[in-house]
């Protein structure tokens, strides 16, 4: 017999599900006249649609990064004259000629630069003991010059001809197709810049992001107008914290602290939702954060793929799909089984239904940093407010995301009213941000044990621990999705957060594991660089021969900002004891001990139980 409290919880959960399923979505563009004066070129309209329908470019981003030769009005008038609105556009060659006449090549509006504080032999890098790793670190340090960009001031005064958003200071780009600044990439780029002793460039990077908040109220995903409806993981306060700890530049903190508060308020007012629980962790309603961009149209930088993936859906389904795709892009994890209702199918994406543990841990870290910086600036009242806010929110994290049975933090799914208990490295983010009771070391140890032991949910192909792979920690253990934020890819920011989360523990086993993962990640990156002379955005973590990662909407990109930053930070952290020969041995041992292809065969009875569970849930689901 259910208790009245549980019955009330079920009733309101059903009402919420009915509302979420039946709510209609209106058309919301990724940019419009409220935040740009060229939206009908780069964010919507017949020209954008025609270029993609005729597949003029393999990558949709190519077109929306092209500067205009003439004003937007002149361009669209000429387009309408050559391609009348009441006639279908089918002549690919004619359209290409129009683009050649009215647009310039992508990237031509950016200027290369050399950071003013770059030096060839930064002291922290020359202190690395191993000679091969030291030489490699200096080569990576030199790449900062290749990735430095600045925007001509003429673009500030004539910005309607560009999708690029003007920023006043030079910056470091990720590389490849990512020609502009990107939000969460910047945190790990800054970690590397500080390892290279480039505090002025770090300050410039932060200044540009602060400028974005002052103009738009938040930091956009990246430096293009078509990103003006979505952000990325909120790490601006963390960048300021890293800079302050390196420089103790109080004048700069006094200047930017109001902007950090403004960005915090954006996430408070625009990305929160209430969740009602009745379980062993907590009873009541909790305010939590989620990724939920308002846009409901194809992403201009991936226009072809979005339209193709949604072509069999009705209008409301398409709008929901586009919103969930953009919201996943806001998370930085674009795309992953993490967001899919069935864990395998992109068309079943439901990002806005998922409350991410990592986002909420980042927001908890924001509270901690804002408390600390306010205290440093002498604002005791504000500091105490954030201290209390974080203490309360830490209880929310425990109630909504912590699973006492499994001993780890997981995403919460509002549609199912359950946690998603699959393995993803995001479960280490509370360790990285310190958003748990630090005296409760058993909680940290249990997360470590969960990641070590394996035995993950039965619908996954892989059943070895997350630390078992020779190249580092994989992004998931869900195989064969073809998405870049899934197995077998490993990513620098995720491996860095796992390493740092374990390293900060007082438990020696966790600290040792942090060192071993760092060895693997450094070794894999080094061997790829040694073979190709390039750094990449992602890597394949399985097998004895390291290689760049694959999958997703575009080819793997070279550069690469956050990869370089993570490696330089790790080399500084472990440079006194890491040896390339030791790292090679560690990677080889891990590869040899890896069970077969890392896949195991599930017992048929377990698969039957899982199938029956899915059928039962489907029966209960409201359609």
Active site residues: 334, 537
Secondary structure, 3-state, 242-293: HHHHHHCCHHHHHHHHHHHHHHHHHHHHHCEEEEEEECCCCEEEEEEECCCC
- Of 262, 164, 137, 140, which is closest to residue 222 (Cα–Cα)? 164
Residue 352 near residue 291 (C-beta atoms within 8 A): yes
Which residues have CB under 8 Å from 450's CB, separation 6+?
A: 406, 407, 408, 423, 427
Extended beta strands in 132-195, E state: 148-151, 171-172
Residue 271 near residue 292 (C-beta atoms within 8 A): yes
- Of 478, 488, 503, which is closest to residue 423 (Cα–Cα)? 478
- Of 555, 553, 587, 562, which is closest to residue 491 (Cα–Cα)? 562
Residue 112 bridge partners (DSSP) = 149
Rounded Cα gap, residues 548 and 539, in angstroms: 4
Rounded Cα gap, residues 491 and 592, in angstroms: 22
Question: Other CB atoms closer than 10 Å to residue 300's CB: what's the count?
Answer: 28
Rounded Cα gap, residues 337 and 621, in angstroms: 21
Extended beta strands in 58-144, E state: 110-112
Which residues have CB under 8 Å from 550's CB, separation 6+?
A: 484, 489, 540, 556
* Unique residue bearing structure tokens 């103790």: 248
Taking CB atoms within 8 Å and a gap of at least 24, the contacts of 597-604 are 597/542, 598/462, 598/464, 598/468, 598/469, 598/488, 598/542, 599/461, 599/462, 599/479, 600/461, 600/462, 600/463, 600/464, 602/458, 602/463
Residue 248 near residue 372 (C-beta atoms within 8 A): no
Residue 598 near residue 467 (C-beta atoms within 8 A): no
What spatial distance separates the first Cα and last Cα of the chain, rounded to whole Å? 26
Which residues have CB under 8 Å from 152's CB, separation 6+?
A: 109, 111
Rounded Cα gap, residues 213 and 220, in angstroms: 8
What the block records as the tokens of 268 is 């408070």
Cα-Cα-Cα-Cα torsion 16, 20, 23, 24, nearest 10 degrees, comes to: 170
Question: Based on C-alpha coordinates, what's the Rg of the chain?
Answer: 24
Question: Other CB atoms closer than 10 Å to residue 451's CB: what's the count?
Answer: 22
Helix/strand/coil for 539? strand
Rounded Cα gap, residues 430 and 403, in angstroms: 13
């Amino acid at each position: 017999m259910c208790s009245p409290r549980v019955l009330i919880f079920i009733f309101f959960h059903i009402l919420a599900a009915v509302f979420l399923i039946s709510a209609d979505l209106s058309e919301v563009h990724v940019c419009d006249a409220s935040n740009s004066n060229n939206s009908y070129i780069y964010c919507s309209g017949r020209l954008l649609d025609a270029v993609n329908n005729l597949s003029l470019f393999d990558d949709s981003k190519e077109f929306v990064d092209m500067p205009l030769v003439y004003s937007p009005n002149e361009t669209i008038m000429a387009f309408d004259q050559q391609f009348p609105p009441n006639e279908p556009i089918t002549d690919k060659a004619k359209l290409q000629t129009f683009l050649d006449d009215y647009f310039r090549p992508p990237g031509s509006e950016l200027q290369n630069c050399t950071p003013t504080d770059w030096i060839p032999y930064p002291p922290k890098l020359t202190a690395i003991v191993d000679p091969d790793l030291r030489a490699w670190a200096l080569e990576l340090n030199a790449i900062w010059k290749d990735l430095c960009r600045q925007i001509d001031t003429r673009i500030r005064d004539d910005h309607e001809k560009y999708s690029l958003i003007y920023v006043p200071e030079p910056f470091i780009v990720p590389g490849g197709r990512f020609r502009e600044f990107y939000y969460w990439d910047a945190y790990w780029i800054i970690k590397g810049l500080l390892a290279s002793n480039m505090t002025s460039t770090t300050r410039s990077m932060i200044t540009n992001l602060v400028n974005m908040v002052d103009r738009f109220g938040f930091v956009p995903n990246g430096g293009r107008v078509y990103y003006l409806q979505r952000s990325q993981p909120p790490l601006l306060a963390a960048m300021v914290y890293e800079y302050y700890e390196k420089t103790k530049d109080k004048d700069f903190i006094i200047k930017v602290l109001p902007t950090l508060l403004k960005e915090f308020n954006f996430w408070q007012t625009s990305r929160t939702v209430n969740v009602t629980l009745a379980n062993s962790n907590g009873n009541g309603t909790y305010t939590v954060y989620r990724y939920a961009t308002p846009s409901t149209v194809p992403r201009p930088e991936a226009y072809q793929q979005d339209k193709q993936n949604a072509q069999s859906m009705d209008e409301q389904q398409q709008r929901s799909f586009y919103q969930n795709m953009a919201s996943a892009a806001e998370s930085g994890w674009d795309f992953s089984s993490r967001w899919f209702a069935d864990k395998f199918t992109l068309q079943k994406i439901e990002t806005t239904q998922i409350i991410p543990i990592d986002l909420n841990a980042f927001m908890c870290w924001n509270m901690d940093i804002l408390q600390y910086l306010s205290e440093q600036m002498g604002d005791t009242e504000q500091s105490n407010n954030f201290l209390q806010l974080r203490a309360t929110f830490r209880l929310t994290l425990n109630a909504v995301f912590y699973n006492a049975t499994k001993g780890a933090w997981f995403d919460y799914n509002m549609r199912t009213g359950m946690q998603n208990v699959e393995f993803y490295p995001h479960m280490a983010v509370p360790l990285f941000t310190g958003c748990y009771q630090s005296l409760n070391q058993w909680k940290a140890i249990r997360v470590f044990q969960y990641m070590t032991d394996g035995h993950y949910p039965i619908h996954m192909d892989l059943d070895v621990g997350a630390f078992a792979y020779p190249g580092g920690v994989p992004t998931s253990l869900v195989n064969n999705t073809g998405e870049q934020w899934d197995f077998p890819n490993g990513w620098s920011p995720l491996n860095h957060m796992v390493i740092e989360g374990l390293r900060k523990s007082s438990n020696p086993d966790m600290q040792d594991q942090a060192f071993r993962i760092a060895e693997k990640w450094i070794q894999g990156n080094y061997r790829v660089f040694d073979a190709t002379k390039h750094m990449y955005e992602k890597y394949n973590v399985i097998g004895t021969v390291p290689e760049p990662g694959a999958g997703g909407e575009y080819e793997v990109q070279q550069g690469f900002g956050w990869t370089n930053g993570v490696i330089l930070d790790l080399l500084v952290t472990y440079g006194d004891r890491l040896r390339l020969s030791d790292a090679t041995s560690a990677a080889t041992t891990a590869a040899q001990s890896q069970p077969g292809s890392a896949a195991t065969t599930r017992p048929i009875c377990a698969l039957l139980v899982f199938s029956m569970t899915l059928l039962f849930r489907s029966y209960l689901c409201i359609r």
